[in-house]
Amino acid sequence: MATTNTELYRRFGGQLRVRFFRFAPLTLSGIRATSKKKIPLVLLFTPPLIGTVIFSFMVYARYAPEVIVGEMGANQEIAAAVAERVAEQVPDVKRQIVGFTRVLRVFAILAIAWFGSGLFAEDRQCGAHQLYFARPITRLDYFFGKFFTAAFYGAGTVLVPGLVICLVAVLSSPNWSFLTGEWDVILKTALYSMFWIGIVTLVVLCASSLVKRRAFALIAVFAFFMFPSFLATALVGITKDVRFFALSTLINSRRIGYWLFDIASSGPRSMLSYDLSLAFLETGTVAVLCLVIMAIQIRRMEVVP
């Protein structure tokens, strides 16, 4: 005998709201999943940590050499002589920050490539993207969730160390002279770090979206950054035309960094003296191509059979 459902339903009296930052849970879960293995974290983040300590001491030595010598127990004459010598030998803070950031770019590539190369590839391999798109998230939410997961590790290798050194410069400078006189260096450090993190993250995610194996994405990322640099260096050596350096995203990032911080290149033959527009053109082209490729790939992934 058929029965009817006698359960009473109440009329919904609330309001439906579209939450912002819907990609945040996807980002947090991605960070938790990629950070389970501790050995890569130690290997990739220990060198930037050591470098941050060393460069922080150099910045402190630049601004307060008298204090360092005084702590050693030297007299005032020796302290003054050593202070003058330190001021001559230690570069200015701006150049130190640029040099330190240039070194950390490599670790940013390593960290983002290692932790981000499997974000799309492993989803496609195990079919996890079908579960994601079965939920009320858009393609943009999915992209942002993966983007900020990979960018998180880049921030730990470039952005945070750079800002720590700027903080040391602010605290070490007499009468807060670094904050009042060179405050723009702090903003430029953050801007340049985010620029490089964004470019590397786009390249890594683009490679990950094209393959189904994380190892293939890693190989593609390192080939993308290393091969054009070797090719550009060889072509410049043969033709003596520094414009060939614009073929390399890695070299272009250095050119943009020197322009942003208004520092002249000290390399041989003024290797970074080529037209700045070429550097922006190559970097912008790479970013646009990566976005277009990922948009196509994510659209294909959204189709749930």
> DSSP per residue over 79-122, as a string?
HHHHHHHHHHHSPPHHHHHHHHHHHHHHHHHHHHHHHHTTTTHH
Domain count, the chain: 1
Higher per-residue confidence, 280 vs 62: 280
Higher per-residue confidence, 180 vs 130: 180
**Domain assignment present for 166:** yes
User: At a CB cut-off of 8 Å and minimum separation 6, what does 298 contact?
Assistant: 139, 142, 143, 209
pLDDT at 19: 67
pLDDT digits (tens, 9 = 90+) for 67-117: 555 555 555 566 556 556 655 555 677 788 888 888 888 999 999 999 999
Q: For residues 283 and 130, what is the distance between their CA atoms, to the nearest angstrom?
A: 33
**Domain assignment present for 15:** no
**Domain assignment present for 191:** yes
**Domain assignment present for 297:** yes
pLDDT at 86: 58
- What number is the average pLDDT over the span 282-290? 96
pLDDT digits (tens, 9 = 90+) for 14-49: 665 666 777 888 889 889 988 888 898 999 999 999
Instruction: Tell me, rounded to whole angstroms, the distance of Cα 198 from its chain centroid.
Output: 6
**Domain assignment present for 165:** yes
Higher per-residue confidence, 233 vs 305: 233
| pLDDT class of 52 with cuts at 50, 70, 90 | very high
pLDDT at 170 exceeding the cut of 80: yes
pLDDT at 201: 96
Model pTM greater than 0.75? yes
Cβ atoms of 100 and 93 within 8 Å: the answer is no
pLDDT at 131: 66
Cβ atoms of 59 and 165 within 8 Å: the answer is yes
pLDDT at 132 exceeding the cut of 60: yes
Average pLDDT, the chain: 82
pLDDT at 33: 87
Owning domain of residue 41:
37-302
Kindly list the distances between the CA atom of residue 13 and the CA atoms of 10, 16, 65, 74, 229, in Å, as whole numbers in the listed order. Answer: 9, 10, 68, 77, 62
Cβ atoms of 201 and 116 within 8 Å: the answer is yes
pLDDT at 61 exceeding the cut of 90: no
**Domain assignment present for 22:** no
Higher per-residue confidence, 75 vs 229: 229
pLDDT at 157 exceeding the cut of 90: yes
| pLDDT class of 282 with cuts at 50, 70, 90 | very high
Kindly list the distances between the CA atom of residue 209 and the CA atoms of 203, 261, 274, in Å, as whole numbers in the listed order. Answer: 10, 34, 33
Which is nearest to 233 in space by CA: 251, 206, 213, 215? 251
**Domain assignment present for 16:** no
Which is nearest to 109 in space by CA: 154, 139, 56, 149? 154
- Burial pattern 21-59, b for ≥16 Cβ within 10 A else e, equals ebbeebbeebeeebeeeeebbeebbeebeebbeebbebb
Give first-to-last CA distance, the chain, whole Å.
Answer: 38
**Domain assignment present for 161:** yes
* Count of beta carbons in the 10 Å neighbourhood of residue 284: 12
